[in-house]
């Protein structure tokens, strides 16, 4: 069933409690280095303001681990949000308590208030599974969430980046808002549409590109996609676990020995599902991960003392060929140590191949995190269909997991 969005409800005169993902990168002086996540929330915020509502924003920033850490204050975010909205944003230096309650009650239509980092309280991150048989933890989480739940007449979830977490502000707050409207914002609506439609109703050929360091991080994704896609291209350090499963020597490349048997099983499952599981045919190897260090290209076994750091030129060509006729593409994870030059060449080549396929009519979804960084770094963001705002969330979505915080949203 489709979920109700902020456009489906009347917000005039209402106080709208909205969970956003303002977990922006900061430099050592707490200056925002990228406001992408703030900009992504603007359409939903502006829609509420234009229709006569006021907005109360909740977010986390960084990992302060339940402590009030000045470095992780959302004050710089309030300033930047005000600049983008061209209006004053009321910042309150807490997210619960009498001061917050009073400021929220005083809001007039068109006002915007941003509360302080919800992760300044350890109750925000108490997991429901831990609280299930621990009344004290359950009570603490509920008391914390209840104070925020009482602030709003409507709840809006526009934080896809944390959609896979059962944090208090994501799940307990809307649960405690009873029959008050609970909807998604335009950002979450877009993510669900692109990721959901792409994976469940793809135009074929459907190709998935998976990279990154660990097979263990992507196992469930591979298993879920085997029956949905036509091809899976595997790069990054996770490829070396598959190589070892084939009996190849991998030098000192990263390998998860505990998952070698699982990798062997995946080859069999892919064959049974008639899904091509495609590994690199050559590798860039080096003795250490260091910028512009000595490196070479090898086919087959990797010598002792060397480690794989990127897919080689023949692999880039092969992967580009396997993407050329694609009509649907999902990509999650880099092809090598893309933060270190020249080991970013494989990832750049894949970014280009995805953009080229998109130019020819493919729908391409970039699954957040490192892949999003890579496509942006390559200057190709505008040549792909959708870049997800949630790395971990998009990965779990590709695994086929249900998100509790989305399930409790009102149906259309």
Give residue-wise pLDDT tens across range 249-263: 999 999 999 999 999
214 is catalytic: yes
392 is catalytic: yes
C-alpha 158/C-alpha 188 separation (Å) is 5
182 is catalytic: no
CATH superfamily of 6-187: Phosphoglycerate kinase, N-terminal domain (3.40.50.1260)
What CATH number matches the domain at 194-398, 1.10.287.3510, 3.40.50.1260, 3.20.20.140, 3.30.1490.20? 3.40.50.1260
Whether 146 contacts 7, CB under 8 Å: no
Q: Which of 62, 66, 82, 392 is catalytic?
A: 392
pLDDT given for residue 368 in this prediction = 66
Q: Which of 37, 231, 244, 363 is catalytic?
A: 37
What kind and span of H or E run contains 363?
strand 363-366
Q: Which of 214, 317, 383, 404 is catalytic?
A: 214
**Which residues of the chain fall short of a pLDDT of 70?**
1, 368
Torsion of the alpha carbons at 179, 185, 186 and 192, rounded to the nearest 10: -80
Per residue in 313-339, pLDDT (tens digit) is: 999 999 999 999 999 999 999 999 988
pTM of the model: 0.84
pLDDT given for residue 398 in this prediction = 80
Residue partners of 123: CB distance under 8 A and separation at least 6: 66, 140, 141, 143, 144, 145, 168
Is it true that 6-187 and 194-398 share their CATH fold?
yes
pLDDT given for residue 1 in this prediction = 58
Pairing outcome for strands 182-184 and 154-157: parallel
Domain ranges of the chain: 6-187, 194-398
| Phi and psi based region of residue 394 (left: phi greater than 0; alpha: psi -120 to 50; beta: remaining) | alpha
178 is catalytic: no
């Amino acid at each position: 069933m489709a979920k109700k969005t902020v456009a489906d409800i009347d917000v005039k005169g209402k106080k709208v409690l909205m969970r956003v993902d303002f977990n922006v990168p900061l430099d050592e002086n707490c200056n925002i280095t990228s406001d992408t996540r703030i900009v992504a929330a603007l359409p939903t915020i502006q829609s509420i303001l234009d229709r006569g509502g006021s907005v109360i924003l909740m977010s986390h920033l960084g990992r302060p681990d339940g402590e009030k850490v000045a470095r992780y204050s959302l004050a710089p975010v309030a300033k930047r949000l005000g600049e983008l909205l061209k209006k004053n944003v009321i910042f309150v230096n807490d997210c619960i308590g009498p001061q917050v309650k009073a400021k929220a009650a005083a809001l007039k239509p068109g006002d915007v208030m941003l509360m302080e980092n919800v992760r300044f309280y350890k109750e925000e991150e108490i997991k429901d599974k831990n609280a299930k048989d621990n009344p004290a933890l359950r009570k603490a989480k509920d008391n914390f969430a209840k104070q925020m739940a009482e602030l709003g007449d409507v709840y809006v979830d526009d934080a896809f980046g944390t959609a896979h977490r059962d944090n208090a502000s994501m799940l307990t707050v809307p649960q405690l808002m009873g029959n008050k409207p609970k909807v998604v914002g335009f950002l979450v609506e877009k993510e669900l549409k692109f990721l959901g439609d792409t994976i469940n109703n793809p135009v074929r050929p459907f190709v998935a590109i998976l990279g990154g360091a660990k097979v263990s991080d992507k196992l469930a994704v591979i298993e879920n996609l085997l029956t949905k896609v036509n091809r899976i291209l595997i790069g990054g350090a996770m490829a070396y676990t598959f190589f070892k499963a084939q009996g190849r020597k991998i030098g000192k490349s990263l390998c998860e020995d505990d998952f070698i048997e699982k990798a062997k099983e995946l080859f069999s499952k892919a064959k049974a599902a008639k899904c091509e599981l495609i590994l690199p045919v050559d590798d860039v190897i080096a003795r250490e991960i260091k910028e512009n260090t000595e490196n070479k290209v090898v086919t087959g076994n990797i010598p002792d003392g060397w480690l794989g750091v990127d897919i080689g030129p023949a692999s880039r060509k092969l992967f580009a060929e396997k993407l050329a006729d694609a009509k649907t593409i999902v990509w999650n994870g880099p092809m090598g140590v893309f933060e270190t030059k020249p080991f970013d060449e494989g990832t750049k080549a894949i970014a280009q191949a995805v953009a080229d396929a998109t130019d020819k009519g493919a729908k391409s979804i970039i699954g957040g995190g490192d892949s999003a960084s890579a496509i942006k770094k390559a200057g190709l963001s505008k040549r792909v269909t959708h870049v997800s705002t949630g790395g971990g969330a998009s990965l779990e979505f590709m695994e086929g997991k249900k998100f509790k915080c989305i399930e409790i949203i009102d149906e259309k």
